[in-house]
């Protein structure tokens, strides 16, 4: 093997050795949920069937049980940012300002509220990529009708 190829192989090996747990959760959200056995879910209203299926899907994927916390949307999203809540499940408008402040799952239910269309989504703390991927995968399953209870 030439020197250049050997150096490239070593560089790739070093890069891959740092990839032990991608994607990463800087605040360890998913690990904390699994360790505690509890998913702290915020909602401001009763959950429609699709939202309940999403919560059940996430419970199955994590082995944790959901603990619902009721409240107004803005304070719940503030608690999400500080890590006091793991997930907020609520209807959001397409132009919600919260999309820039938190990670929103794909919509799993769409409904009309007066003149406006809202999409039910799950909001997660930005940057918690392992947790976000798990919830997004669950939301897609619910949206396609393939969720497992």
Q: Provide the terminal-to-terminal Cα distance of the chain, rounded to the nearest Å.
A: 53
pLDDT tens digit string along 114-141?
788 889 999 999 999 999 999 999 999 9
What pTM does this model have?
A: 0.80
pLDDT in tens, 46-103: 999 999 999 999 999 999 999 999 999 999 999 999 999 999 999 998 888 888 889 9
- Prior bond of 28 cis (ω within 30°): no
- Phi/psi of residue 43, nearest 5 degrees: -150, 150
What's the rounded Cα separation, in Å, for the pair 26 and 60? 23
Q: How far apart are CA 74 and CA 133, in angstroms?
A: 23
Does the N-terminal peptide bond of residue 124 adopt cis geometry, omega within 30 degrees of 0?
no
pLDDT at residue number 101:
85
Tokens describing residue 51: 């939202």
Identify the pLDDT of residue 48: 96
Residue-level pLDDT at 10: 61
Q: Backbone dihedral region of 45: left (phi > 0), alpha (psi from -120 to 50 degrees) or beta?
A: beta
Distance separating alpha carbons of residues 71 and 12, to the nearest angstrom: 49
């Amino acid at each position: 093997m030439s020197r250049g190829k050997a150096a490239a192989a070593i560089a790739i090996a070093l890069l891959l050795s740092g990839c032990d747990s991608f994607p990463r959760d800087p605040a360890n959200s998913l690990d904390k949920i699994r360790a505690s056995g509890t998913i702290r879910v915020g909602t401001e209203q009763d959950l429609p069937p699709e939202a309940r299926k999403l919560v059940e899907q996430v419970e199955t994927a994590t082995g944790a049980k959901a603990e619902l916390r009721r409240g107004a949307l803005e304070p719940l999203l503030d608690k999400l940012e500080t890590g006091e809540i793991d997930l907020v499940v609520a209807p959001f408008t397409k132009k919600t300002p919260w999309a820039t402040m938190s990670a929103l799952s794909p919509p799993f239910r769409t409904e009309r509220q007066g003149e406006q269309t809202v999409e039910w989504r799950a909001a997660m703390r930005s940057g918690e990529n392992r947790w976000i991927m798990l919830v997004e995968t669950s939301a897609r399953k619910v949206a396609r009708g393939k969720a497992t209870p």
